[in-house]
């Protein structure tokens, strides 16, 4: 229920942009929509082992895979310098072993929804170039995670990654293409959000609990329309 509610809130926020009355494109419009291609680059290292009934070898470590995904950003401008932005994307990742666990498949097909809301400051420059910085809260939602082959071979029948709140900062630049609201956008976001992985046996016993640093980068580039 928590996952569904958060997703519904994010969808409702994004839909308000499309429900707004139609306006001609303008570099001074209140709303901006961005369609981006994004590289999602998480960390995934173990920061703490909280429970270990299986006997992890010394030097055990993990790494989350990178992914490339489409991203939709919706932004509202309070004035020419201040705006609020949210993004919508999902990204699937695998967690594999490193160190003593090198090559081991730990978690398969964990889908990340990085629900993010940032407050941004823009500095308009000549030629329609507008660099910006921003910061705000982020909620990491995880869906569909399941034990990888190595974890399953040790008796893990189910894995759960905790949904958690953290923070994000961003920097980028919008470049206007003429006066009709169209533009190009480059954006980089850095997240500080962790998660706890809990592995359960078929009998429901919590056999392994590990704390992980996700701390992802999301690097994006694409087109924008302001109206």
| Model pTM score | 0.85
Q: What is the pLDDT of residue 9?
A: 43
Q: Scan for tokens 């299986």, then name that residue.
A: 54
Q: Scan for tokens 């939709």, then name that residue.
A: 72
CA angle 86, 168, 62 (to 5 degrees): 115
- State both tokens at 183: 């533009």
Q: Are 67 and 91 in contact (CB under 8 A)?
A: yes
Q: What is the pLDDT of residue 24?
A: 80
Q: Mean pLDDT by 10-residue block, N- to C-terminus, for the chain (227 residues)?
A: 42 46 78 98 96 92 97 97 96 95 94 97 96 98 96 94 98 96 98 97 96 97 98
CA torsion sign for 199, 203, 207, 211 is positive
CB atoms within 10 A of CB 64: 25
Residues 6+ apart with CB under 8 A from 19: none
CATH of domain 2-16+26-226: 2.40.160.20
- State both tokens at 217: 């980068």
In whole angstroms, what is the distance from residue 207 CA to residue 53 CA? 5
Q: What is the pLDDT of residue 16?
A: 46
Q: Are 136 and 114 in contact (CB under 8 A)?
A: no
What is the total residue count of the chain? 227
CA angle 44, 104, 207 (to 5 degrees): 75
């Amino acid at each position: 229920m928590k996952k569904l509610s958060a997703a519904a809130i994010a969808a409702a926020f994004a839909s308000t942009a499309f429900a707004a009355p139609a306006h001609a494109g303008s570099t001074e419009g209140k709303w901006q929509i961005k369609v981006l291609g994004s590289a999602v680059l998480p960390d995934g290292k173990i920061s703490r082992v909280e429970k270990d009934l299986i006997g992890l070898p010394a030097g055990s470590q993990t790494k989350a895979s990178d992914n490339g995904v489409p991203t939709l950003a919706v932004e509202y401008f309070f004035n020419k310098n201040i705006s609020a932005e949210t993004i919508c994307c999902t990204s699937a990742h695998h967690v594999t072993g490193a160190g003593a666990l090198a090559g081991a498949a730990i978690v398969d097909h964990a889908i990340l929804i990085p629900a993010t809301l940032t407050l941004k400051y823009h500095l308009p420059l000549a030629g329609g170039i507008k660099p910006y910085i921003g910061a705000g809260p982020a909620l990491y939602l995880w869906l569909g995670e399941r034990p990888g082959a190595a974890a399953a071979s040790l008796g893990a029948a189910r894995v759960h990654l905790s949904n958690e709140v953290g923070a994000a900062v961003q920097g980028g630049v919008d470049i206007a293409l003429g006066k009709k609201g169209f533009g190009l956008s480059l954006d980089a976001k850095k997240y500080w959000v962790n998660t706890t992985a809990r592995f359960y046996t078929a009998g429901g016993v919590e056999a392994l609990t590990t704390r992980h640093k996700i701390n992802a980068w999301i690097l994006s580039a694409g087109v924008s329309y302001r109206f």
